[in-house]
Each structure stands twice: as structure tokens, then as C-alpha cells.
A = this chain, B = another copy of it.
Amino acid sequence: MSPWWVFTVDTNTASRYILNMFKEHLTKGKASRAQIYETAIRLFRERGFDDATMRDIGAELGGAASAAYYYFKSKDAIVLDYYDDVQRRHEVLVNEMLEQEKDLSRRIAQIHHLKLDILKHDRRIMGALLRYAGEPDSELSFFSVKTSGLRQAAMALFARALEGADLPADMLSVLPLLLWAAHMGVLLYFLYDKSPNQKNTRALIDRGTQLMTGFLKVAKNPLLRPIRKRTLEFIHDSGLIEAAPAH
């Protein structure tokens, strides 16, 4: 049996949740965080990131721009929330897929494909994410310390895809990073892909993962042990494999 205080905490949490729902209904017509988020993303999709202004978002909800600023630090912060959302939806789809698919090459390819399915109509929104990539100290940079959790989660998906694969432990420790880096490359390629339905990116993914599994087979060869060891040490020493974020 749980001690009495567990019950207490749970009711507190529950009532806070109900209170929030209640509040949302009370302030109907006004903007809640979720409403602002959804309106913003819709307008970004419809008009493009730059042409959808914060004033537009506020007006759409019958209010002022500054309402949005209460919930979001900046316009770009909304996009970061979007990427968070994408990551969560991606995780659900990938976990489902990994239950079914057992072929290593296809498991990896599908991780890329499922992300593209989510982002298919949001390439312009995605592009806005790159805006702060060049500012190491910005919270909005997706290479910054602040967004470490997001990167960890993305790499964890590749780690899951590799489970059960016949690979030495040392290679398993660096592959999620390499596959994630490749994924960043795929997304950049996707962003610039002018082919109908971005079919070039789709083909790139399939051929690329086939090639990658070919490399893995070769890399396991005992003759290549020295250079494999050097490579793995190089990657470890680069510092790019981040410690898991503190809880």
C-alpha cells in the first residue's frame, strides 16, 4: 500500500490539472499557451515564418501580440517548442515501427523516413530553427547546452534501433552519435530538396542506410581492427558524446 502522502500529492496534482482545465474554459476566447502555440504554427505554415507576425497571432486570438510573450520568450521559442513536439511524435512512431521491423538497415532508414513524414509540410518552419544555430550561447540554438536533452532523445532512438544488432560494444557506443549526425545531414538535404515530394531525400536515405550497413560489415573485419580503434577513440575524444542530462 502507498503511504497517505502519495495520495495527497496525487490529489494536489489532479486538482491543479482540473483547475487549469477550468481556467481554460473560464478564459475562453482568450489565449492559453496551447492555443497560442497552435495558432502560431498554423500561421507559420500558411504564411511562412517571417510573414506571420506576433501581432497576427495575437489578432487571430482576439488579443494583442504581448499575450504570446507571456508564454513564449520570443517568436523563435515557439519554433523550439514545435521541435520538441516533433521529437515526441517521432518517438511514438519510431517505437511502434521498431516493434514490427527487425532488419537493421530498414530500422535505421525508417527513423529518417518517419521524421520526414512529420516535417513534410513544415520545411519553412524547420528552417527557422537554424537561425540561432550560429549562436553558441543562445538557448534557442539546437546545439547549445540547453537543448542537450533533445539531442539525447534523438540519439536514443538510433540506439534503440541498434539493439539486437550483431555489433561490438565499442562501435555501439559511437553509432548513435554518427547516425544522429547523418540525420542532421538528411534534414538539411531535405530542406533544400526541390524534387517532387522530396523523393530525392527518400532515395538518399534508403541507399545511404544500405551503404552504412555495408560499412558496418566491413568494419567488423579483424584486419581493420587498428583503424577502427583509432576512429572510435577519435570520436570519443572529440567530446561530442554528451553526458546524459541531469534529472
> Which A residues lie at the B interface, using CB under 8 A?
124, 126-131, 133-136, 143, 188-189, 191-192, 194, 200, 203-204, 207-208, 211, 214-215, 218, 224, 227, 230-231, 234, 237-239
- Copies of the chain in the assembly: 2
Tell me the smallest distance from the CB of A143 to a CB of chain B, in Å: 6
Q: Which residues of B contact A200 (CB under 8 A)?
A: 239
* Docked CA distance A215–B136 (Å): 32
* Docked CA distance A35–B167 (Å): 59
Q: Which residues of B contact A237 (CB under 8 A)?
A: 203, 207
Q: Which residues of B contact A131 (CB under 8 A)?
A: 130-131, 134
Q: Which residue from B143, B211, B234 sits with its C-beta under 8 Å from A211?
A: B234
Q: Which residue from B130, B215, B227, B231 sits with its C-beta under 8 Å from A227?
A: B215
* Docked CA distance A126–B135 (Å): 9
* Docked CA distance A218–B238 (Å): 23
Q: Which residues of B contact A143 (CB under 8 A)?
A: 188, 192
Contacts known (A207-B237, A237-B207); A133 close to B135, Cβ less than 8 A: no
> Smallest CB-CB separation from A135: which chain B residue?
B127
Q: Which residues of B contact A188 (CB under 8 A)?
A: 143
* Docked CA distance A239–B129 (Å): 25
Tell me the smallest distance from the CB of A37 to a CB of chain B, in Å: 20
Q: Which residue from B127, B204, B218 sits with its C-beta under 8 Å from A136?
A: B127
> Smallest CB-CB separation from A187: which chain B residue?
B134
> Smallest CB-CB separation from A138: which chain B residue?
B127
Q: Provide 17 A-B residue pairs closer than 8 Å at the C-beta atoms, listed in order of the A residue.
A: A124-B135, A130-B131, A130-B133, A131-B131, A133-B133, A134-B191, A136-B191, A136-B194, A143-B188, A200-B239, A203-B237, A204-B238, A207-B234, A207-B237, A211-B230, A211-B234, A218-B224
> Smallest CB-CB separation from A210: which chain B residue?
B230
Tell me the smallest distance from the CB of A126 to a CB of chain B, in Å: 7
Not counting A207-B237, A215-B227, A218-B227, a sample of 18 additional A-B residue pairs whose C-beta atoms are within 8 angstroms of each other reads: A126-B134, A127-B135, A127-B136, A128-B134, A131-B134, A136-B191, A136-B192, A136-B194, A143-B188, A189-B238, A200-B239, A204-B238, A207-B234, A211-B227, A211-B230, A211-B234, A214-B230, A218-B224
